[in-house]
Amino acid sequence: MSKEQRATVDALLRSTSIDASRTPDELRADFAAMMAGSPSPLGVSLTPSALGGRPALEIAPEAEAIDGTILYFHGGSWVFGSPATAQHITAALVRRTGARAVSLDYRLAPEHPFPAAIDDGVAAYRDLLEHRVPPERIVLAGDSAGGGLSILTVLASRDAGLPRPAGVVAFSPGLDATRSGESMTTKDGIDPLFTRQSLQRLGAHYLAGQDPRQPLLSPAVHADLAGLPPLLLQAGSNEVLLDDSTRLATRAAAAGVDVILDVTADVPHVFQSFTGSLDEADAALDRAGRFILDRLATTPAAL
């Protein structure tokens, strides 16, 4: 793995770090502009779609697709981002698995605070089921806030009595709105993107004054995790959100959940988005693709 590549990524992120003091509209414009410079992903088709009453982007392999669906949730601290800004990382999973992905344009804060995004995630999953996509042929995935949303959608779907999907893949998920993990301190300054303070400021748009000590806001420390499907949690060792993944993995394993905690050294938040320019990103996506294929091949329907 390339030390030079990691240094280049770190420098790039420090030069374009997210300014949490900007308004939501400014954050959305800045992030969209930052992500718009890359060419369209290769080897896939992009088709506007809808799911659960929300717009969506369907990403399908140009080659023959396998019988499986990835329900994807983009990142953006619950405030910004879209299926378009996540299309490269979503397409990377589609190319590696041959499964189609449907990337959901869930509602954003502050216009739509907690639990609007979770409601949209559950509605999208329910829509797939109602269109006769078997739960054992569905994997939920996402990055950052979307990684958290993939797990929160499964928790809320479980509580609603829906069948569980085949598995969940979460890249650098946000899983603790209390910001109480030790990595908030130990990775301060090492993380090129976030600090505890910037995350608290961004998170306030989504919290809208609500107590963060709720299961669907801080599942890493407060949720009952029993009955979840197999989980793959990928994180970088340089991110302040690292302990969101480590603590959820520990508690999930204690609850009898099949969970893989996959931490890559000396890389930042959602390092998988640097596919094609960071060796660690491609290796991690390879592992995520194998996890998805293994789950789609082996998971029976389960209530």
Is residue 217 scored above 60 in pLDDT?
yes
Annotated catalytic residue, options 58, 136, 239, 280: 239
Quote the percentage of the chain above a pLDDT of 70: 97
Give the chain's radius of gyration (CA, Å). Answer: 17
Is residue 301 scored above 50 in pLDDT?
no
Categorize the per-residue pLDDT at 300 as very low, low, confident or very high, splitting at 50, 70 and 90: very low
Those residues with Cβ within 8 angstroms of residue 173's Cβ, 6 or more apart along the chain or in another chain: 142, 143, 144, 147, 148, 150, 151, 233, 235, 241, 244, 245, 248
Is residue 27 scored above 50 in pLDDT?
yes
| CB contact at 8 A, 231 and 166 | no
Query: According to the model, what pLDDT value does residue 17 have?
Result: 74
Query: According to the model, what pLDDT value does residue 197 have?
Result: 96
Average pLDDT over residues 10-32: 91
Annotated catalytic residue, options 144, 150, 198, 218: 144
Average pLDDT over residues 136-164: 98
Average pLDDT over residues 115-131: 98
Query: According to the model, what pLDDT value does residue 24 have?
Result: 96
| CB contact at 8 A, 152 and 219 | yes
Query: According to the model, what pLDDT value does residue 1 have?
Result: 57
* Alpha helices in 112-265, H assignment, sequence order: 116-130, 145-159, 183-186, 196-207, 219-222, 242-254
Flag the least confident range among 39-43, 154-158, 172-176, 279-283: 39-43
Annotated catalytic residue, options 74, 88, 205, 269: 269
Is residue 26 scored above 90 in pLDDT?
yes
Query: According to the model, what pLDDT value does residue 110 have?
Result: 98
Query: According to the model, what pLDDT value does residue 232 have?
Result: 98
Query: pTM for the complete prediction?
Result: 0.96
| CB contact at 8 A, 118 and 152 | yes
Write the pLDDT tens digit of every residue in 60-92: 999 889 999 999 999 999 999 999 999 999 999
State the average pLDDT for the chain. Answer: 95
Write the pLDDT tens digit of every residue in 220-278: 999 999 999 999 999 999 999 999 999 999 999 999 999 999 999 999 999 999 999 99
Query: According to the model, what pLDDT value does residue 303 have?
Result: 27
Active site residue 144: yes
Write the pLDDT tens digit of every residue in 42-53: 999 999 999 999
Quote the percentage of the chain above a pLDDT of 90: 90
Tokens representing 120?
């949209």
